[in-house]
A and B are shown apart, each in its own frame.
Chain A
Amino acid sequence: EVQLVESGGGLVQPGRSLKLSCVASGFTFSNYGMNWIRQAPGKGLEWVAYISSGSSYIYYAETVKGRFTISRDNAKNTLYLQMTSLRSEDTALYYCARRWELDYWGQGVMVTVSS
């Protein structure tokens, strides 16, 4: 069974940093591209970043480019999102999801940016 479990969220002050993790199981993680998607409270879905299976290809939404870094450790079956210079508008539930089709999603982890 494919499982994606996010962690690392919490309350953080504006301007500070936070690193999210997504641990994968039930499939060969190193064979699949992965994504981060977020959803602000009461709002729709926003794609954040993508990383290919071997980390050769990385793409970001303009809203996070230069502040967020997506990475992965295939030996640990783990996807990461390093978030710096956080803003109030980054407050959201952050999901990881697999493949271009986003076929499997985690349960999400909440990030709240507030002073």
Chain B
Amino acid sequence: DVVLTQTPVSLLISLGGQASISCRSSQSLVHSNGNTYLHWYLQKPGQSPQLLIYQVSNRFSGIPDRFSGSGSGTDFTLKISRVEPEDLGDYYCLQSTHFPRTFGGGTKLELK
């Protein structure tokens, strides 16, 4: 199975600051069709996860441009600029290139 190693486990950020989360895969996430199915989610307290970024770098509908994704192959990053209170919660990466699908362990974003 593909293992996604997400770091850091927790992140203390000041409002207006920048956060960066890494997601490293144990194998390439490039699908045979050429696409890379690595996605990012935010789970706010008491809520269902919501899709932020799909296929590495595409912002989902309604997601502000403060969120950006980058990377390739096995190494991926989510950046959040100008952190706002509504950005707090648990962030997860997911790979859907291979079965079984696997999630990273999560990163908790908290205010400093």
Summed over the interface, the residue pairs from A and B with CB atoms below 8 Å come to a total of 54
**Residue pair B94, A61 in contact (C-beta under 8 Å):** no
A46 to B39, CA, bound (A): 15
**A44 located at the interface, meaning its Cβ lies under 8 Å from any Cβ of chain B in the complex:** yes
Chain A interface mostly: loop
Chain B interface mostly: loop
**A27 located at the interface, meaning its Cβ lies under 8 Å from any Cβ of chain B in the complex:** no
Interface size on B, residues (CB 8 A): 24
**Residue pair A101, B100 in contact (C-beta under 8 Å):** no
Which residues of chain B from 84 to 112 have any CB-CB distance to chain A below 8 Å in the complex? 90, 92, 94, 96, 99-106
A46 to B4, CA, bound (A): 12
Write the residues of chain A forming the contact surface with B, with a CB cutoff of 8 angstroms.
35, 44-47, 50, 59-62, 95, 100-108
Write the residues of chain B forming the contact surface with A, with a CB cutoff of 8 angstroms.
1, 37, 39, 41, 43, 48-51, 54-55, 60, 90, 92, 94, 96, 99-106
